[in-house]
Amino acid sequence: MSRIGKQEIVIPGGVKVTQSGPTLTVVGPKGTLTKNFRDDITITIAGNAINLNIKRNDKFSKSLWGTYASHIKNMIAGVQTPYQKKLILEGVGFKSEVKGKTLNFALGFSHPVIVEIPDTITATADKNNITITGIDKELVGSFTAAIRALKKPEPYKGKGMRYEGEVIRRKQGKKTV
């Protein structure tokens, strides 16, 4: 049994949750989020609380139970306060800047790297600190991971792009006799 799925999700003031078929819509002061859910879990909205129950007692339904509860909690939290991730770009000659709806990088390649910013996300780049903000936790995390994958930090000098607070394990390098 899912401990997270059993818990009742409280809808705070200023947030409105509606359900039409498999689609759940959360509207709050920062925006609107919509997500489709499978029919293996029944979602009931009563007053200012959401309850989730499984239809079938199989392993797949039980695994979705807590996952769907976490998704709904993240949606409610996102429309109240946006999620934020920060990246730090380290290395000589590595640069980042925002031009319109694109992120432009100079990552030591022979060409500039240009990444399109999704509509629901805002990105700022000051010096070598990149901040990505949005109400959808999943989209913010996947977009940040895609940017980090452009130039992962290397273990010898630590050059590359890393999350704020991420610790890079360093290797010793060559020894001279």
Measured CA angle at 37 (ends 31, 43), to 5 deg = 90
Question: What span, in angstroms and rounded, lies between the C-alpha atoms of 160 and 83?
Answer: 23
Which strand (E) or helix (H) includes residue 90? strand 83-90
Phi, psi angles (nearest 5°) of residue 89: -105, 115
pLDDT of residue 4: 87
Structure-block tokens of residue 65: 């139970």
Assessment of whether the complete model's pTM goes beyond 0.75: yes
pLDDT of residue 174: 83
Burial of 86-108, coded b for 16+ CB within 10 Å and e otherwise, reads: ebbbbbeebebebeeeebebebe
Average pLDDT over residues 3-30: 93
What is the secondary structure of 114-153 as a DSSP string? Answer: EEEPPTTEEEEEETTEEEEEES-HHHHHHHHHHHHTTSPP
Average pLDDT over residues 156-177: 88
What is the secondary structure of 10-67 as a DSSP string? Answer: E--TT-EEEEETTEEEEEETTEEEEEE--TTEEEEEETTEEEEEESS-SHHHHHHHHH
CATH 3.40.50.720 applies to domain 83-163: no
Gap between the terminal Cα atoms of the chain = 61
Give per-residue pLDDT as tens, 28-81: 999 999 999 998 899 999 989 999 999 988 899 888 999 999 999 999 999 999
CATH 3.40.50.300 applies to domain 3-80: no
Domain(s) labelled CATH 3.90.930.12 in the chain stretch across: 3-80, 83-163
